[in-house]
C-alpha cells in the first residue's frame, strides 16, 4: 500500500501545480480554453457549451499516462 499512497500524493501534487498554472494564466489574461472540436451554441436567452474536443484530448492524455504507469508497474515486478 505504500506505493499506492506515493502515487496518490504525486497525483495530488501534479493537480495542485496544474491548478496554480491555470490560476496564473487567468491572472495574465488567458481565459479561453476552447478547442476546435468544442460545441458552442448561442441563442436568445440560451447558452450551451459542450467541450467535445477538450474531452477527447484529456481522454487521450490520461490513456497514455495510465498505460505508461501500468507498463512501469509491470516492469517493476
Q: Which three cell numbers stand for residue 5?
A: 499512497
Q: What is the average per-residue pLDDT within 8-34?
A: 82
pTM: 0.55
* Sequence ranges of the domains in the chain: 1-31, 33-77
- Summarised one tens digit per residue, pLDDT across range 39-70 is 889 999 998 988 888 889 889 999 998 898 88
Long-range CB contacts (within 8 A, 24+) of 49-58: none
The pLDDT score that the predictor gives to residue 1 is: 57
Distance separating the N- and C-terminal Cα atoms of the chain: 15
Amino acid at each position: 500500500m505504500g506505493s499506492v499512497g506515493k502515487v496518490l500524493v504525486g497525483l495530488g501534487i501534479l493537480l495542485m501545480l496544474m491548478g496554480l498554472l491555470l490560476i496564473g494564466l487567468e491572472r495574465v489574461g488567458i481565459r479561453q480554453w476552447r478547442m476546435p472540436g468544442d460545441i458552442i451554441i448561442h441563442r436568445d436567452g440560451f447558452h450551451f457549451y459542450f467541450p467535445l474536443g477538450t474531452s477527447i484530448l484529456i481522454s487521450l492524455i490520461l490513456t497514455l499516462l495510465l498505460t505508461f504507469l501500468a507498463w512501469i508497474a509491470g516492469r517493476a515486478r
